[in-house]
Structure 1
Amino acid sequence: MTGNVMVTPRTVAVLGATGHTGRFVVAELLRRGLRPIAIARSAEALAAANFREPEVLCRPATLEDERSLMPALAGAEAVINCAGPFLDSADALAAAAVKAGIHYVDVSAEQPSVRTTLEKFDEPAREAGIAVIPGMGFYGGFADLLVTATLGDWKSADTIDILIGLDSWHPTRGTRVTGERNKATRMVVSEGRLTPLVLPPAQKHWDFGAVLGSQIVSEMPFSEIVLVSRHVKTSELHTYLSAVALSDIRDKATPAPKAADPTGRSAQRFVVEVVARREGASRRAVARGQDIYAFTAPLVCEVVQRLLDQQFSHAGAHAPGEILDAEEVLAALQPDYLALEIAAR
């Protein structure tokens, strides 16, 4: 209430709201003064989630039934898709968002899903006057923003390496299901074009500093390759992930994340480094934080809030670094969620 005028909060729908990442996203929207519409497949799942009503609107809907999906999106200005595998959910929800005239953002790490969404929905999104940004999670859009910020005024690079260090990876059920579903060949940029990852993946030692120390990393590209290559010209673009994280996720006995603080975050620590080189010069960024799933929530919500708050003129399907000020987005996450250093600029 402002004076005698009731201020209605802006509304953002969340598909997969009862999942691990979805719950973090709903909580982050509330923290920002936005009103979430929590969408899940059943009323029972929504009731079990114990969302605060009426602050959170709870609406059951399925992607297979447009008669339930479109009413579930009613009143929203944007929708965040947290329901993986995105190979199964992105197409239907992005199409519904275009039809409803609302922004669509997802948190997919899946290269085929992100690539298809960018290609298929660019023109429809332009016609609808909305933005479609796939892959806006820890794996994907985060690295795209880091690369964009690292490059600064460089319009191209000879090589870009993205190095992701984790002290562990306790996967959610959704991560495991997505991994089983996504069997597509992983792509990298080599000699200036998207090309299949060479097997066996390259390995090397990398020193992530005091937080994680020296680790063996293996080449493991996610959706950031598709996003970065869409708007950055480079001869080589490669992503490496801690071997310890790969070992954890490949072990079926590794348990799901366990809350280590009142916000529900796990104790997992991450360090992401970007190293760009051009004509003998190099630029570098280092980002540090806690819990890749929990971190995805403020990251994707910051992007969505910018879509809602700004006079947005970049309709279409985009990588975040194409249309947003990468340094501003990353700065907005500091110091609560992120420690960031950009060197040699």
Structure 2
Amino acid sequence: MDSRLDIVVFGATGFTGKSTLPYLHKLAQNPERSLTWGIGGRSLEKLQNILHEASTRIGADLSGIPIIIADSTNEKSIMEMTKKARMIINCCGPYQVHGEVVVRSCIETGTHYVDVTAEPYFQEAMEKKYHEAAQRQGIYIVNYCGYGYMATEIPVCLLENKFPGTLNSVEIFTDTYQGVYSQGSQFNIGSWKSAVVASSKLKTFFWNKIKRDWNSVKMRPKICSRLPFSRITSIGIPNKKILPFPSPDIDIINRSQRYFYENVEKRPIQVRHYYLLDSWKSILK
């Protein structure tokens, strides 16, 4: 009998990891799923504290949740962790520094892998190095499953499925608010570190992107951008201003659209992404 946990959250003490726990607990409460899960990280004390903190926040006893000690600088410990899970949710960034060892271990142990990276170079590097190995193992290596991706490509797919015709273009307008399990700030030190590390590979990433786009069929038509800080009334929010947002999530959407265009001759959907602001001062908050 397979004694593996269904899901292990690696990096559970970080901003993203501890935000994940209440939702994972809620998912596991569904009697139809019988989901088992655990958490992983470097410090036993910190992992115990984060379970206690999560227990207080959601009003449930999480003291029995399994804890696995694993450190991205110790590949053997990572391998021992991935052996104990059917799927790893990797919340330990920056991924260019800490991510590859987890991907590699997941492939070795036949464990599905999901992360929340927004580091384009890391995603492309992992695909190039491990795509065929993952296929041979029959596992999924899924990057970009964080907030941005779920707020962009998933809605585009849903809209395409519901749209009564051929979908030409999509404009995405994102607004933010404090949720039930909010951690307060909308930005955190982990995201900042990831952004700094990712910037070191931007030149290589964009050069690879230029070469890829140059050798590919050009996608048409193109949707025009709206001007920064202009008001928009057509979506029923007249008091907001918009800011064009060059997020890596749009590049992921474009990669998906290019794949379908080049492999099944499906017309590509053009996508633009904007953030809604109360004023330009909102950027500084």
> TM-score higher than 0.5 here?
yes
Distance 1:109 1:246, change over 3 A: farther
TM-score, normalization by structure 2? 0.69
CA deviation map 1:277-327 (0-9, x unaligned)? xxxxxxxxxxxxxxxxxxxxxxxxxxxxxxxxxxxxxxxxxxxxxxxxxxx
Residue 273 (structure 2) aligned to one of 207, 214, 239: 239
**Can you list the C-alpha shifts for 1:152-188, whole angstroms capped at 9, x where unaligned?**
2779754333221235863122222223333237979
Q: How many residues align?
A: 239
Q: Which digits, 9 at most, give the CA deviation of each residue in 1:230-255, with x for residues without a partner?
A: 3324374322223469865x64xx5x
Specify the alignment match of 1:136 in structure 2. Answer: 145
CA contact (8 A) 1:135 1:223 kept: no
Look up the equivalent residue of 1:125 and give its one-letter code.
A
Cα distance change of structure 1 residues 14 and 53 upon mapping to structure 2, 3 Å threshold: same
2:192 is the counterpart of 1:176: yes
**1:62-81 maps to which residues of 2 (within 5 A)?**
62-81=71-90
Return the structure number with greater helix share. 2
> Which 5+ residue runs of structure 1 have no aligned equivalent?
1-6, 255-345
Corresponding letter in the other structure for 1:161: E
2:19 to 24, 33, 43: 24
Kept in 2, the 8 Å contact 1:114–1:223? The answer is no
What is the alpha-carbon root mean square deviation over aligned residues?
3.7
The answer on whether the counterparts of 1:166 and 1:244 sit within 8 Å (CA) in structure 2 is no
1:192 corresponds to 2:231: no
Among 8, 12, 32, the residue aligned to 1:13: 8
Greater strand proportion: 1
Distance 2:103 2:175 in 1: 32
User: 1:101: which partner in 2?
Assistant: 110
Contact 1:167 1:245 in 2 (8 A): no
Match of 1:229 in 2: 254
Write the distance in 2 (CA, Å) between the matches of 1:119 and 1:142: 26
Q: TM-score, normalised by structure 1?
A: 0.58
Distance 1:110 1:41 in 2: 23
Distance 1:97 1:245 in 2: 45
Could you tell me how far 1:8 is from its partner in structure 2? Answer: 7.4
Question: Which structure would you say has the larger Rg?
Answer: 2
Q: CA deviation at 1:10?
A: 4.5
Q: Report what 2:121 is aligned to.
A: 112
Percent identical residues: 19
Structure 1: 4+ residue segments shifted above 6 A: 153-156, 185-190
- Equivalent position to 2:173, from 159, 163, 169: 163
Q: Tell me the equivalent position of 2:49.
A: 48
* Structure 1 residue 65, shift from structure 2 partner: 0.8
In the TM superposition, residue 79 of structure 1 has moved relative to its aligned partner by: 0.4
Is contact 2:93–2:194 with CA below 8 Å preserved after alignment? yes
* Pair 1:159–1:115, CA change in 2 (3 A): farther
> 1:39 is paired with a residue of what secondary structure?
strand
Instruction: Give 1:48 shift.
Output: 2.5
Task: Give the letter for the 1:179 counterpart.
Answer: A
1:54 Cα deviation after fit: 5.7
Tell whether the 8 Å contact from 1:115 to 1:226 is kept in structure 2 after alignment.
Answer: no
Q: Is the 8 A contact 1:110 1:223 kept in 2?
A: yes
Q: What is the DSSP-based 3-state SS (H/G/I as helix, E as strand, rest coil) of the residue aligned with 2:85?
A: coil
